[in-house]
Amino acid sequence: MLIDCHNHIGADLMFYLHGDFPYAQQMVDMLQEGSSLGVTHWIAFPFVSYAAMDVTGFREGSVRFGSGTSLEMVPYAFENRRLLEECQRLFPEEGKKVLPFVMVDPMRDTGVQARELEKLREQYRFYGIKIQSTIIQSDIKRLAHEGSIFLDLARQWDIPFLIHSSVAESDLWAQAHDIIDIAEANPDIRFCAAHSCRYDKECLDRIQVLPNAWFDCSAHCIHCKGVVDDLPYVAPRERRFDTDYTDPARVIADLAAAYPDKFLWGSDSPFYSYAAEINEQVVKLISTYEAEVAALKKCGEEVVRRVADVNTRAYLKLADENILA
């Protein structure tokens, strides 16, 4: 069994209209490409911008709300239902290999979102809650306030969170240390901080001692590239986990050795690549699904089994792998 714990299915209208890449992925295409590389199961969730945002700002990449020019009323209500219908109604046989997570906005209309999730739970299976608060500019700290209704649902349903993390000073919404603070304050709920906490050793060390916290290595190859080029979206040198970032496989092996029970493997498909025009310059960080899997498999069968099977099932509380058969 090889579980990819971090994938997006659907479309991102803001990325498409603003001219950014990637902006869409179909479930069947994801399964076909990943299966050819040896992946057997996928945790998947919608893309990030949602139809209840003000779509008139999307062509400028602006995040706006409340102007009356949205396509929907409730954050992620359309996107979550669309994902679950694709996995469980349109393609039910293929969808058995997908473990869907629903997306939430921790700051806006949280009570209405929760009611929509309760309706979905009566109709469909889903295994966790995903938050990407940077793109929608929704402070992750609000998960402990107006977003606490999602903590209550996670407790009730015994499902985990997977949360996009950042260490960049300019990111006001998804700081890794804030996510870990929430995990510390809620020991009865499971949390995973995405993107290896951008290799911030202090954050990784904090996760190591928490029984309810994990991290994933999604978009690993372009994050290694970010270290090599000393880009601002990874941890600064004085806080960075020490390894050879010129070799993504070496980084996986060293992280797996340092944090043997806390490391989950994920590709972030299709966001293992990113391209956009920023300040009139095209920024391209390009990898492939094949490169992400190759870096993992180069570490050997024991590491693969641990970080792409055993640890992921522990995080999901799926002790019996036959559940995923």
| Structural domains of the chain ordered from first start | 3-324 (3.20.20.140)
User: How far apart are alpha carbons 175 and 167 in whole angstroms?
Assistant: 5
Residue 67 has pLDDT above 90, yes or no: no
pLDDT for residue 69:
81
Average pLDDT, the chain: 96
Average pLDDT over residues 67-88: 93
3-state secondary structure the chain: CCEEEEEECEECHHHHHHCCECCEECHHHHHHHHHHCCCCEEEEECCCCCCCCCHHHHHHCCCCCCCCCCCCCCCCHHHHHHHHHHHHHHCHHHHCCEEEEEECCCCCCHHHHHHHHHHHHHHCCCCEEEECCCCCCCCHHHHHCCCHHHHHHHHHHCCCEEECCECCCCCCCCEHHHHHHHHHHCCCCCEEECHHHHHEHHHHHHHHHCCCEEEECCCHHHHHHHHHCCCCCCCCHHHECCCCCCCHHHHHHHHHHHCCCCEECCCCECCCCEEEEECCEEEEECCCHHHHHHHHHCCCHHHHHHHHHHHHHHHHCCCCHHHHC
pLDDT band at 58 (very low <50, low <70, confident <90, very high): very high
pLDDT for residue 322:
64
Average pLDDT over residues 51-57: 93
pLDDT for residue 320:
65
pLDDT for residue 321:
62
Exposed/middle/buried for 240, CB within 10 Å: 0-12, 13-18, 19+? middle
Q: Which one, of 157, 202, 158, lies nearest residue 180 by Cα?
A: 202
Residue 114 has pLDDT above 70, yes or no: yes
Strands 128-131 and 161-163: parallel
Exposed/middle/buried for 51, CB within 10 Å: 0-12, 13-18, 19+? middle
pLDDT for residue 280:
84
Average pLDDT over residues 62-87: 91
**Residue pair 47/104 in contact by the 8 Å Cβ criterion:** no
Count CA atoms closer than 13 A to 31's CA, side-chain side.
18
Overall pTM surpassing 0.85 (yes/no) = yes
pLDDT for residue 66:
77
Residue 150 has pLDDT above 90, yes or no: yes
Written as one letter, the residue type at 94 is: E
Percentage of the chain modeled with pLDDT above 90: 91
pLDDT for residue 125:
96
Residue 186 has pLDDT above 70, yes or no: yes
User: How far apart are alpha carbons 322 and 325 in whole angstroms?
Assistant: 5
**Among 31-40, 209-218, 274-283, the least confident range:** 274-283
**Chain position carrying tokens 């036959």:** 322
User: How far apart are alpha carbons 153 and 162 in whole angstroms?
Assistant: 14
**Span 208-234, pLDDT tens digits:** 999 999 999 999 999 999 999 999 999
pLDDT for residue 325:
58
